[in-house]
Amino acid sequence: MGQRGYRAHMASAHEVVAAYWAAAEARDWDGFGALLAGDVVYHGPQTREQVRGRDAYLRFNAEGFAYDWHIAVRRIVGEGRHAASWVEFTGPDGPQPGLCFFELGEDGRIARITDFWPEPYELPVSRAHLVERY
Amino acid sequence: MGQRGYRAHMASAHEVVAAYWAAAEARDWDGFGALLAGDVVYHGPQTREQVRGRDAYLRFNAEGFAYDWHIAVRRIVGEGRHAASWVEFTGPDGPQPGLCFFELGEDGRIARITDFWPEPYELPVSRAHLVERY
């Protein structure tokens, strides 16, 4: 090691995703954009929606949700160039879980985001005898 | 290091979750149960269902889904005692994504599982101009 206490540091996938949600919550779109690859691709499989490129994805986030919303991180898991997050999104309809899977590029920026928003549903009768409710 | 090539190995959270899904797909309930803490707790937040304990959770999995189903792993991310998985579950209604967050106990067994099953929904008009479809 050359200089004491110094080493080149590329943020871990966990750190990048923590910064991503912190920037979103702060509406710090410059900081948010700095975490994204220029050719980032966002997929929402439930609606089959797709957004391509940093500028389009910034606009999607800044303009697509025109109401007060907040994000609280419940869990981030990172491994190599992959990460997953579980957040609680609170908008006009109350809190809702959001699950995201991330892939980082070689430069440590977010290259791919796959985003899921599960909704409440009725417990199937077929397994009701095998569970409790909470 | 004492013996060449030998070191005590506790499976990583990634490896444990890979084994969990492989055992489920194989209906290897003994192998599946060996990955679980005795006091494992399962939560399905969308239905607020809960299953407590290895025996109850084995029964839930073995008996709760009385039709042919298959699991294909799309992504596993592990970090320390946490992991997340994204699988494709195929049952009678076709393929569906399933997202799970896992916590392991100190002995490396799965102590807590939180399970999400997102469903398709209509793209909100409010952001339709900001996305493509795929």
Instruction: Write down the pLDDT at residue B1.
Output: 41
Residue of B101, B131, B132 to mutate when probing chain A, most A C-beta within 10 A: B131
Assess if residue B88 is contained within a domain.
yes
For Cα atoms B16, A97, B108, give the angle at the middle one, nearest 5 degrees.
15
Count of domains for chain B: 1
Assess if residue A134 is contained within a domain.
no
Assess if residue A127 is contained within a domain.
no
- CB contact, 8 Å: B134 with chain A? yes
Q: Is the complex ipTM more than 0.85?
A: yes
Assess if residue B131 is contained within a domain.
no
- In the sheet with A94-104, reading across from the earlier edge strand, the strands are A70-79, A82-91, A94-104, A110-116, A36-44, A49-52, B132-133
Assess if residue B134 is contained within a domain.
no
State the smallest CA–CA distance between residue A5 and chain B in angstroms. Answer: 25
Instruction: Write down the pLDDT at residue A1.
Output: 41
pTM score above 0.80:
yes
pLDDT greater at residue A7 or residue A41: A41
Assess if residue A8 is contained within a domain.
no
Assess if residue A91 is contained within a domain.
yes
C-alpha–C-alpha distance, residues A133 and A128, integer Å: 9
* Domain limits for position A112: 13-118
Q: For chain A, positions 100-119, list CB contacts with chain B under 8 A.
A: 101, 114, 116-119
Average pLDDT over chain A reads 94
Assess if residue B106 is contained within a domain.
yes
User: The domain that contains B41 carries what CATH number?
Assistant: 3.10.450.50
Q: What is the pLDDT of residues A11-42, one digit of tens each?
A: 999 999 999 999 999 999 999 999 999 999 99
